[in-house]
Structure 1
Amino acid sequence: MATPFEEAYASLNPQQKKVVDTIDGPLMVVAGPGTGKTQVLTIRIANILKRTDTSAPSILALTFTESGAHTMRQRLIQFLGTEAYRVRIETFHAFCDDVIRNYPEYFPIPLNSQPLSDIEKFQIFEHLLQTLPLTNLRTINSPFHYLRTLIKTISDLKREGISVEQYQQLVKEEQEVFDGEKEELKKTARSKREKELAKMTEIGVVFQRYQELLTERRRYDYDDMICFVVEAFQNSAELLTEYQERFLYILVDEYQDTNAAQNKVVDLLASYWGEAANLCVVGDPHQSIYRFQGASLENTLGFLHRYPSAEVITLKQGYRCPQQIYDAAADVIQHNPKLENVLRTDHVPAETLHALSEGLSKPLHSQLPKTQQTVIHVTAMPTEQHEQLFVVEQVQALLDKGVSPQEIAVLYRNNADGVLLQEIFSKHGISVSVENKQDALQSPALQQLFLLLRTVLDLRSGTEGPELAELLFAPWWKFERVVTMKLLRAAGKMNASVYELVRRGFSEVIKLSETTDLTQLDFGLYEDFFERLVEWGGDEPNQPFCYWLEGVTQESGFLDWAAAQPERLLLLEQVNSLLQFVRQLDSNGMKLNLDSFLEIIQTMMEHQLAVPVDLSVVKEEGVTFSTTHKAKGQEWDYVFLIQCNDGKWGNARGGRSLPLPSGVLHFDLQAPENLLDDDRRLFYVALTRAKKQICISYPETVLSGQNTKQVLGSLFLEEVPAEYKESKEFQVDEPKMVSFLKKITPPEPLVDWSTREKEWLRQITAEMPLSVSALNTYLHSPEEFLKKYLLKVPERPDARLAYGTAMHAALEHVYRGWLDTQVVPNERDVLVHFKKILEQQSLPQAEFELRLERGYEVLRQYLQRPIAETKPIFLEKFFGYGTSTTMLGDIRLTGRIDRVDWIDTTLKTVRVVDYKTGRGKTLNEIEGKVGTADYSARELALPEPIRGVLKRQALFYKLLLQLDRTFAGKVTNGVFEFVEPDRDGKFVTRELPLLDEDVELLKTLISDVMTEIRELKFLTSNS
């Protein structure tokens, strides 16, 4: 009876057998999609052990992913049994980490150093961007704008094997080249190059300090694992010899995706044997899709340069796809440059190069039965909604025919592309299986738990943010909503926290909250609630944080509430994942407490770092949803590739936002032509996932902000020859489309407002004044209006708002001095006043210093302006309060205007002036003609003269002055002074006429909005 190995060997085709039997010497295997690569590799390992006296631990197989290593070992167990466990099958990083742990004395890191976690990396880079003297990599209002790009850039450097010292030398050389040619450059080109060099220099500063901090904190990052081992092997013959003698045979899977540093590890291990090394690499240059991880096209020919005697074997028979797909994929990929046209080939023997070129230029021969049916379908859709309906109907039709959902996949370019369609599938009763893991931090339930933790910390530190108000409405507390709303409003009117209000006692609260329906029993619930929050805050420092957190989830009732929900398995698994994450941080020596934990959560949410949830407990068998990157190595009978548009699949906009010196990367990974080649390889991978049929679709119009724009199908679709594809349009009748849209449209949040709650809100809105901020908030988000202006939920201090407050105060000080004394205050006096106001804003020290420095810089420049030429009448003038009566019918309008200046004292014409501390805007932006991506549907529907948020503000100020009978002037213009200078150091001022007819439109809008508010329409619609 044949053994499993003999049966597997007998099933191989001639090329596969040749790979298995070619045991000695260097070997390159070109293995396209569905050629049985993994099976051949594992049989080859088994054959080495059977035909030689090599022991299992003397074979090293390096893979690109953990899943690849797992699959290879599983198959090897079938042939070798327990002996398979002794073969070294590892990822590059696992191998290098093992070297570091076993031989720490060879590495430039402190003993007991640990790998750096993602959250630690992001925290370190936040710290670097906040504390290093950077001017080109940090902006005041978005100090972390370059954070992700900076992390990626330094990772690229490490993956190309470039140290801090080497990088800084490259920048120095780049500077010397520029110094020698800058006089010949035009002004614009010279300025651009100077800024690029400034950024390169600062990258070096960050890179150096980052490595120093890793050493200080006993950490090394993911890329250091490879770089450290390369350096140790190069510097220590003893260590290198130890590993060279240990491994007699080396195999590398997915070779096309390895980077320069990984290749160096392999070459050093094989260097003892020179050009005759027993080194086998397997890959397919057409499927090199991890270029963003530092892999380069040089891998393939680079291997043949180093091992000119290597044999090249191409696996020519494919067992996955119909011939049409293999032919189409080959035609598409031939539009990429041939390797020998972009890389040196002079050291590669002609016959080897010919074998490689032939293997890469010809399509695979499908071993599946021939079919006359077209298996590649391309469908253009009028809209994204048509595409969604098409995919739902096609998948449902397959399921109705008895096709297993596990044999169907929906693939897309980016994770975000599949989210909405997953929800639509669920609404149609189609189960889905998502390849990417769920993030516990995105769970609404856990976000409410974080509100609880933030509130505990706030109360302990004597502050209160908006989290407390939201927490009072959490479903696991049993508070009556109308009572909670009254308490919040009463606290807001007193400018106190709800906590302070409750501490005053029952009788005082009854008087202040203007309510008679709060019982002593109900009030006791609030007292108990706050006592428990304070108690938790006091207990936390005295317990291990993880133990304390587990206790809070139980004692708060959160776990009991979660266990009673329909989706309880998922909710409890999310909680478990969070607690497991906390335990892991503890085990890494991070010494968590409540403050540091919440900082970690905030950092992770800001930078989209995930706490992965194990969905195996709740996972259903369903249609696979996956990015094409994650689909590599997998196959399905039926594949749907969605949103295959130009700009998403090929011709992507953008590129590297941080420059690097010439020659740092062997290929400019972000050059447009290379990005196009990368995308084409990814499209090749998508095509070759299908065993029976692939349906490719794209919408002809997409939503861009609040507008729709026409888009084309991908260039790659045109590269698929007509004989291999069937192109058609999707036809659907209107009733079916209407029914589909109704089904997928999210329902309005179901909030059951009681009669008592509505009556109370009517009392509030009947006499409430209206400011332009309240008006604009209502138009943008009625829900936000309810929280901010009716419930008066406190807002957490914002650094930009704090800076704006201090800057406004400083400018008032400047113009007040000029108005009162006809003398502009001196620079020192203004800066002292600015600092005094900024100190009152309770900013974190690092943020305070950053804003203080920026404010000083701005004010020094501002004071150079011709301030003495202005003719101010009012400064920081309040309207609608005291003696100022500004009534529009029965609506009291209120506001505060930064400055009102005379234009002509004879004609009594004036302009209203408003200071803005953000980026300068164009008149079109001010008027809402462009830059409306963040506008709500209600705002976009407004008449053009009052559509722009800023223009509406200026018109509102004109209306205030018109309604104030104490003022006799005529407002003709509005001015916005942007007090942050632009890139050229100039201050932007925009002035626009304020027409009476536009004010009339605003009056109508105000009346309509106030009617809606008083009728509580915002409770039942988005208005």
Structure 2
Amino acid sequence: MTQPTKLDALMDSLTTVQREAASWDDGALMLLAGPGSGKTRVLTSRIGRLLLESDPATWRVLALTFTTRAADEMRSRISEIAPEQADRLLVGTFHSFAVELLRQSGSHVGVRTDFKIYSTQPDRTKLLEEAVKSKGVDFPEPLSKAFFVLDGLRDRLVPPEECAKLFQSQQRAEYFSALYDGYHRHLLEQNALDFPAIIFKCHELLTKYPSIAERYRKTFRHICIDEFQDTNSAQYSLIRAFTGPSYRNVFVVADDDQVIYQWNGASPKRLQDFRIDFEATVLQMPTNFRCPEEVVLMANRLVANNKFRSPGKRPLEAGKSSDGASDKVRVLQFETDEHEASGIAQDIAGGISTRSGTVAVLARTKKILDGIKAALVERGIDARIAQRRDAFASVPYQWLHATLMSANRRADEDAFRAFVESGNALWGFEAEADRLIAEAALGNGDLLQSWANWALQSPASGADVPEVVTALSKNLAERSDFHAFCRTTLGVFDRNHAEFESSFASFDEDAEAWKALYREILNTVGREAPLDTFLQELEMRSKEPPLREGTIPLLTIHSSKGNEFNHVYLAGLAEDVLPSFQSKKEGPTSAQLEEERRNCFVAITRCKDTLTMSWAARYGSWNRQPSRFLEEMLQE
């Protein structure tokens, strides 16, 4: 008898509707999957099945999601199901997929394949300042506020020559057109892209050169998109350009009750567009296996007040049987926001030793989380506000990152100056970047080599410095073994850990972040991947360190998406906080207020065991009433 495979066992473990979704073959399908419904298991089961049941020489599968963490998890799960088929799978975010296409074919739209990605706001601001200066742009508004308009234009896929018609003011139309055109041309001249430009240029590639899109369609027979409700207009247009008029093998997992990124262009309307554009079949998975039954009932009562939902959307069904406990849901009331922070901290401190599993605190705004963090720390509880970090914060890891960037871009003067500046601060050098740039120009133009030659003959503090300089010269300047260089440098960092920890802020956090990122990236791209591929992945990922054991995560509702915790505290359930004052101004039936309701829906459905909600009668100097969402959730 043939032994059952991992896929067989996984398919057997699925419910009837889950198995129906995982067994879907050709054609467009929209899977309406509520929170905790097992959508990741379904998605990975389906992809693994497609790979295993097909001719491996024929085609590949493309899977898109919204975070590198989700992509890594999906890739890992599928690799366990179909380990021999890993090279037939491309899993990534919309941005990483667009980067992949531009690396291969971007020269058609003026993007050379070795383009640089600028993800941090300081880098983008510097590029914009350079564009204004080099192009002679007269821009009367603060440049720091210009990106709101520039990014919005590119998110709407509006090219520079067409943007003027979108402004009501003729004067603003003229100077924003000049700024946009100057910035766009400067990016191309520098062979650089910032994040909004990645989707913009990839869409341009696929629409201007449909034969390229057709070639990729033949390569990727199936497309799977997770968290489809989070797509903005540009991302959806990218998919439409990729698929063309007749490609239909698009499988999306979505939940219109979890659209909470309207500020980034997400909309419940996108689900209706997909159903029409792709003539998609709709399948629903409403059973929630995560939350207590009480929370499932609350979530249904809450979201039933929203009108912008898919036709025929079924309410959530409780998949966990009740254990009869009476404290699954609590509501705590306080006099002030300070009392709320202190009360939550005290409640966590009193129950942390008796409760098993994870504990997390959620709130609509970071300001509320700041107060709760201070109250937790005051009680000796380690807590951290989880938020994306685009750059390393400590000098040692800034230098390590800058060194790899300079090794990959040997003639890039901006990257070299960052490398020299951080190296001076870390190792006690007094290198002059401009002088070394001039010396390199007299030779082969290799800036890193010019620094290595200089540093080998220069005094610097610290007995370990010559070891690092020699490793740089040997492994990076003379050849490209960045793994050997990283091993040597990290060994020096470890030997000097106490000194670096006391001298450089955030050194410990960066050390943890680097180790996690290095491991994740190599698992994604393989150890044999070249330095530019490694750096591309590094640029796309947050530099936030992983949570230590016992640390309480504090998350905004937006950053909690995709997570689950045993015990969830949702703070700030007061009018003008959640829902926000701005959404209330738009009216009780507005799209903005409905999104606030979805924010609350997402927050409460993160819990697995208990949910504690709280509000205060005064926040700052303002008196507040309990949130309308509390009444909606708790009404019988």
Q: Please indicate the TM-score interval, normalised by the length of the shorter structure.
A: 0.7 to 0.9
Residue 382 of structure 1 corresponds to which residue in structure 2? 335
**Are 2:90 and 1:88 aligned?**
yes
- Structure 1 residue runs of 5 or longer lacking an equivalent are 175-195, 340-355, 448-475, 477-531, 581-586, 589-608, 657-667, 724-1023
Q: Distance in 1 between matches of 2:160 and 2:278?
A: 30
Q: Distance in 1 between matches of 2:362 and 2:318?
A: 25
Q: Relative to 1, partners in 2 of residues 1:445 and 1:209: Cα closer, same or farther, differing over 3 Å?
A: closer
- Whether contact under 8 Å (1:20, 1:44) holds in the other structure is yes
Match of 2:151 among 152, 155, 164: 155
**Are 2:230 and 1:230 aligned?**
no
Alignment of 1:841-880 (within 5 A): none
Q: 1:326 is matched by which residue type in structure 2?
A: V
Q: Deviations over 1:778-817 (max 9, x none)?
A: xxxxxxxxxxxxxxxxxxxxxxxxxxxxxxxxxxxxxxxx
Match of 2:160 among 154, 160, 164: 164
- Whether contact under 8 Å (2:293, 2:318) holds in the other structure is yes
Match of 2:635 among 718, 722, 735: 722
The 10-residue stretch of structure 1 (324-333 or 643-652) with the greater mean CA deviation from structure 2: 643-652
Q: 2:593 is matched by which residue type in structure 1?
A: L
For the aligned residues, what is the CA RMSD?
4.1
The 10-residue stretch of structure 1 (70-79 or 158-167) with the greater mean CA deviation from structure 2: 158-167
Q: Distance in 1 between matches of 2:258 and 2:603?
A: 10
**Higher radius of gyration, 1 or 2:** 1
Q: Relative to 1, partners in 2 of residues 1:380 and 1:168: Cα closer, same or farther, differing over 3 Å?
A: same
Residue 269 of structure 2 corresponds to which residue in structure 1? 298
**Are 2:94 and 1:121 aligned?**
no
- Whether contact under 8 Å (1:66, 1:91) holds in the other structure is yes
| Superposition deviation, residue 36 in structure 1 | 0.5
Residue 43 of structure 1 corresponds to which residue in structure 2? 45
| Superposition deviation, residue 31 in structure 1 | 0.7
Alignment of 1:878-917 (within 5 A): none
Q: Deviations over 1:259-313 (max 9, x none)?
A: 2222122223333635xx11111111111122222222221000111123x2100
Residue 624 of structure 2 corresponds to which residue in structure 1? 711
- Whether contact under 8 Å (1:413, 1:649) holds in the other structure is yes
Match of 1:267 among 228, 237, 240: 240
Q: Distance in 1 between matches of 2:290 and 2:563?
A: 10
Residue 555 of structure 2 corresponds to which residue in structure 1? 626
Q: Distance in 2 between matches of 1:202 and 1:13?
A: 58
Q: 2:233 is matched by which residue type in structure 1?
A: A
Q: 2:624 is matched by which residue type in structure 1?
A: V
**Are 2:612 and 1:677 aligned?**
no
Q: Relative to 1, partners in 2 of residues 1:7 and 1:197: Cα closer, same or farther, differing over 3 Å?
A: same
Residue 521 of structure 2 corresponds to which residue in structure 1? none
- Whether contact under 8 Å (2:102, 2:113) holds in the other structure is no
Q: Deviations over 1:520-570 (max 9, x none)?
A: xxxxxxxxxxxx99x937798449798799987859x9x999825886897
Q: 2:95 is matched by which residue type in structure 1?
A: H
Q: Relative to 1, partners in 2 of residues 1:47 and 1:551: Cα closer, same or farther, differing over 3 Å?
A: farther
Match of 2:295 among 325, 334, 345: 325
| Superposition deviation, residue 251 in structure 1 | 0.9
- Whether contact under 8 Å (2:106, 2:205) holds in the other structure is no
Q: Relative to 1, partners in 2 of residues 1:541 and 1:552: Cα closer, same or farther, differing over 3 Å?
A: farther
Q: Distance in 2 between matches of 1:279 and 1:561?
A: 52
Match of 1:396 among 341, 349, 373: 349
Residue 597 of structure 1 corresponds to which residue in structure 2? none
Q: 1:396 is matched by which residue type in structure 2?
A: A
SS of structure 2 residue aligned to 1:23:
coil
Residue 648 of structure 1 corresponds to which residue in structure 2? 577
Q: Deviations over 1:207-243 (max 9, x none)?
A: 2221121122221222222222222222223212211
SS of structure 2 residue aligned to 1:335:
coil
Residue 636 of structure 1 corresponds to which residue in structure 2? 565
Q: Distance in 2 between matches of 1:635 and 1:13?
A: 21
Q: Distance in 1 between matches of 2:434 and 2:462?
A: 15
Residue 335 of structure 1 corresponds to which residue in structure 2? 305
Q: Distance in 2 between matches of 1:38 and 1:287?
A: 16
Q: Relative to 1, partners in 2 of residues 1:577 and 1:395: Cα closer, same or farther, differing over 3 Å?
A: closer
Match of 2:105 among 103, 106, 109: 103
Q: Relative to 1, partners in 2 of residues 1:273 and 1:717: Cα closer, same or farther, differing over 3 Å?
A: same
Q: Distance in 2 between matches of 1:721 and 1:579?
A: 45
| Superposition deviation, residue 30 in structure 1 | 0.3
Match of 1:289 among 260, 267, 282: 260
| Superposition deviation, residue 638 in structure 1 | 0.7
**Are 2:614 and 1:697 aligned?**
yes
- Whether contact under 8 Å (1:27, 1:279) holds in the other structure is yes
Q: Relative to 1, partners in 2 of residues 1:442 and 1:701: Cα closer, same or farther, differing over 3 Å?
A: farther
- Whether contact under 8 Å (2:364, 2:578) holds in the other structure is yes
The normalised TM-score by structure 1 is 0.48
Alignment of 1:201-216 (within 5 A): 201-216=174-189
Q: Relative to 1, partners in 2 of residues 1:255 and 1:611: Cα closer, same or farther, differing over 3 Å?
A: closer
- Whether contact under 8 Å (1:638, 1:693) holds in the other structure is yes
Alignment of 1:743-892 (within 5 A): none
- Whether contact under 8 Å (2:29, 2:252) holds in the other structure is yes
Q: Distance in 2 between matches of 1:655 and 1:8?
A: 46
Q: Relative to 1, partners in 2 of residues 1:686 and 1:577: Cα closer, same or farther, differing over 3 Å?
A: closer
SS of structure 2 residue aligned to 1:115:
strand
Q: Distance in 2 between matches of 1:446 and 1:106?
A: 36
- Whether contact under 8 Å (1:573, 1:613) holds in the other structure is no
Residue 604 of structure 2 corresponds to which residue in structure 1? 687
| Superposition deviation, residue 87 in structure 1 | 1.0
Q: 1:712 is matched by which residue type in structure 2?
A: Q
Q: Distance in 2 between matches of 1:247 and 1:105?
A: 22
How many positions carry a matched residue from both structures? 541
Q: Deviations over 1:671-713 (max 9, x none)?
A: 993332222211111010011211111222233xxxx332333
- Whether contact under 8 Å (2:510, 2:543) holds in the other structure is no
Alignment of 1:108-507 (within 5 A): 108-110=110-112, 112-118=114-120, 119-127=122-130, 132-135=137-140, 138=141, 143-144=142-143, 147-148=144-145, 150-171=146-167, 196=169, 198-271=171-244, 273-274=246-247, 277-308=248-279, 310-339=280-309, 356-358=310-312, 360-369=313-322, 371=324, 373=326, 375-404=328-357, 407-432=358-383, 434-436=385-387
Q: 2:317 is matched by which residue type in structure 1?
A: L
SS of structure 2 residue aligned to 1:327:
helix
- Whether contact under 8 Å (1:57, 1:247) holds in the other structure is yes
Q: Distance in 2 between matches of 1:641 and 1:417?
A: 11
Q: Relative to 1, partners in 2 of residues 1:297 and 1:553: Cα closer, same or farther, differing over 3 Å?
A: farther
Q: Distance in 2 between matches of 1:56 and 1:373?
A: 56
| Superposition deviation, residue 110 in structure 1 | 4.9
| Superposition deviation, residue 127 in structure 1 | 5.0
Q: 1:675 is matched by which residue type in structure 2?
A: Q
Q: Distance in 1 between matches of 2:327 and 2:511?
A: 48
Q: Distance in 2 between matches of 1:271 and 1:21?
A: 25
Q: Relative to 1, partners in 2 of residues 1:56 and 1:671: Cα closer, same or farther, differing over 3 Å?
A: farther
- Whether contact under 8 Å (2:56, 2:88) holds in the other structure is no
Q: 2:137 is matched by which residue type in structure 1?
A: L
Greater relative contact order (CA < 8 Å, ≥ 6 in sequence): 2
| Superposition deviation, residue 104 in structure 1 | 3.1
- Whether contact under 8 Å (1:387, 1:698) holds in the other structure is yes
Q: Deviations over 1:66-89 (max 9, x none)?
A: 111111111112211232343111
SS of structure 2 residue aligned to 1:2:
coil
Q: Deviations over 1:319-373 (max 9, x none)?
A: 001222122112222222234xxxxxxxxxxxxxxxx522x25233333335462
Q: 1:4 is matched by which residue type in structure 2?
A: K
Q: 1:683 is matched by which residue type in structure 2?
A: C
Q: Relative to 1, partners in 2 of residues 1:577 and 1:46: Cα closer, same or farther, differing over 3 Å?
A: closer
